[in-house]
A and B are shown apart, each in its own frame.
Chain A
Amino acid sequence: MVELTKQRIDACALLARASRPDAGAVVLFLGTTRELTDGRRTLTLDYEAYDEMAEMKLAELEAEARRRWPLIECTIVHRLGRVPLAEASLAVAVSTAQRADAFEAGQWLIDAIKRDVPIWKQEHWADGTSEWVHPN
C-alpha cells in the first residue's frame, strides 16, 4: 500500500498493519527531519510532490519489491507539506517470514524512493533563508 498524506505519520498504525501471524520480522524505516546539515541549522522542511506520478512510482516500487522479496505487508507513506524537526516525512514498513528479506527490502525501497520518486524538499534554515534541495 502506498500513500501521500498531509497528516502526521502514525508509526504505530503502520507497525500494527505490518504485523501478521505469518511474519517473523517487521522492519519500519522512518525518514525524519534532522536539525543539523553540514553545520547549518534547519528550522523545518517543506515537501512538495508531483502527486499523480509520485503515487504511480511508489506503487511501482512496491510491486518491484514484492517481485524481488517474499513480502507479506509493504506500506509506504510520504508526508507532504511542513514536516517539523524529528517528525517523519517518509515511512517504509515491510514484513516477511525471515528477517534478512525485511531488512534488504526496506533498504532497497528507501534508496529507490529517494532516487526516483518526484518529491522535493525545501530547507528552511535558521538564518532565515530557504532553498529547494536538488542534489546533482
Chain B
Amino acid sequence: MIVRVKMFAAAREIVGSGEVVVDVPDGATVADVRDSLVAQMPELGQILPHARWAVAREFAGADVVVMEESEIALIPPVSGG
C-alpha cells in the first residue's frame, strides 16, 4: 500500500517536498515505513536516527501499525520557543 509521510524542517529541505510517498506491505508499522523511507532516500540517514514519528497527530512508537489513510509525519528533533 502507498502511505504518505509529512516532512518538516531539515527533512523537508533534504527531500525537497512537504510530503513523500512510500510503498509498504499491508499491516506495515512505523518501523517498516522508516526502513522503506531510508532505502528510498538515504540522504535522510542523518536525520532519521534522532527523529520521532507521529501517526494521527500523536507521537507513535516503531511498532504502531499504519494504514493507507494514516496521517504519518516524520518529526525531526523539535526546536520551538
Chain A residues in contact with chain B, CB under 8 A? 31, 47-50, 52-54, 56, 78, 89-90, 110, 113-122, 131-136
Instruction: Please tell me if the beta carbons of A135 and B79 are within 8 angstroms of each other in the complex.
Output: yes
Chain B residues in contact with chain A, CB under 8 A? 6, 8-10, 12-13, 47, 50, 54, 57-59, 73, 75-81
Q: Which of B6, B47, B79, B81 has the most CB of A within 10 A?
A: B81
* Other-chain residue from B8, B50, B80 in contact with A90 (beta carbon distance below 8 A): B80
Instruction: Please tell me if the beta carbons of B9 and A134 are within 8 angstroms of each other in the complex.
Output: yes
CB contacts (< 8 Å) of A89 on chain B: these are 80-81
> Given the complex of chains A and B, what is the CA–CA distance between A31 and B10 in angstroms?
22
Instruction: Please tell me if the beta carbons of B78 and A118 are within 8 angstroms of each other in the complex.
Output: yes
Instruction: Please tell me if the beta carbons of B78 and A119 are within 8 angstroms of each other in the complex.
Output: yes
Nearest chain B CB to A28's CB is how many angstroms away?
14
CB contacts (< 8 Å) of B57 on chain A: these are 50, 52-53, 56
> Given the complex of chains A and B, what is the CA–CA distance between A131 and B46 in angstroms?
14
Nearest chain A CB to B63's CB is how many angstroms away?
20
> Given the complex of chains A and B, what is the CA–CA distance between A90 and B80 in angstroms?
8
Nearest chain A CB to B25's CB is how many angstroms away?
26
Instruction: Please tell me if the beta carbons of B8 and A50 are within 8 angstroms of each other in the complex.
Output: yes
Nearest chain A CB to B53's CB is how many angstroms away?
11
Instruction: Please tell me if the beta carbons of B78 and A48 are within 8 angstroms of each other in the complex.
Output: no
The 9 closest A-B pairs by CB, nearest first: A119-B80, A120-B9, A133-B79, A132-B10, A53-B57, A90-B81, A134-B77, A31-B81, A132-B9
13 additional contacts (CB under 8 A) given A50-B6, A118-B8, A132-B10: A31-B81, A48-B9, A49-B80, A50-B8, A50-B75, A90-B80, A113-B81, A114-B81, A118-B80, A133-B79, A134-B10, A134-B47, A136-B77
CB contacts (< 8 Å) of B6 on chain A: these are 50
CB contacts (< 8 Å) of A52 on chain B: these are 57
Instruction: Please tell me if the beta carbons of A134 and B76 are within 8 angstroms of each other in the complex.
Output: yes
Nearest chain B CB to A45's CB is how many angstroms away?
9
> Given the complex of chains A and B, what is the CA–CA distance between A50 and B51 in angstroms?
14
